[in-house]
A and B are shown apart, each in its own frame.
Chain A
């Protein structure tokens, strides 16, 4: 049982390049979330999804797009990367229903934009 898997683990992009980060979960979770973690800033929500085919903006959505075509996958896209998007990106998922289930996090993608 893999839980939440993020690919790639590391990536270096040049300014203006595009890329997609993949999050896959095998727990049949309804809800999925993308966070970014920056030093001294904690975890900030980028986008989230409450089910297959649905997405919504979080706290810091600008410069990112997402898609949830399949329940188990949540993709985060950067159309034109900027140095301000250098960060560690975490995907998380949870069951629907009670908040008690908490989030299960992936191990992160470390992205550097030069």
Chain B
């Protein structure tokens, strides 16, 4: 099956620092999504990307859909303690069942 390679697996940063994480795949995806999971909760959608090369922002978050359609990255600027959580990338390659393939997640820890 399709796989997404998400890196890094974990990050420990100081409050105020910028963060960057990415996902790569050997397969082409038509849509890239980024989710955040707070402890004890389900994932929540942060950003959705629909076109190759697209750059989209949501507050301090910026994500890009790679031109090759095989990668995507997420940047968080000026991190704050509430950014702590697991960030997942997800891709959709087409098909009417709308199944998503998820990366294994990046665990972000922000030290105040």
Chain A interface residues toward B at CB < 8 A: 4, 31, 33, 35, 40-45, 48, 50, 56, 58-59, 90, 92, 94, 96, 99-100, 102-103, 105-108
Contacts and interface: CB of A to CB of B under 8 A. Distances in A.
A43 B102 contact: yes
Given A31-B97, A107-B41, A99 B104 contact: no
Contact of B41 (A92, A99, A108): A108
Given A99-B92, A108-B41, A108-B42, A56 B97 contact: yes
B69 to A, nearest CB: 14
Contacts, number: 56
Nearest to A102: B45
B1 interface: yes
B92 to A, nearest CB: 5
A50 B102 CA distance: 19
A100 B102 CA distance: 16
Interface of B: 1, 6, 9, 30-31, 33, 40-45, 48, 50, 88, 92, 96-100, 102-105
A40 B92 contact: no
Contact of B99 (A40, A48, A105, A106): A48
B98 A94 contact: yes
Contact of A43 (B43, B45, B50): B43
B41 A42 contact: no
Contacts of B33: 102
Nearest to B97: A50
Nearest to A9: B40
Nearest to A50: B97
6 contacts: A4-B42, A31-B98, A45-B100, A56-B97, A58-B99, A99-B50
User: Which of B40, B41, B92, B97 is packed against the most chain A CB atoms within 10 Å?
Assistant: B97
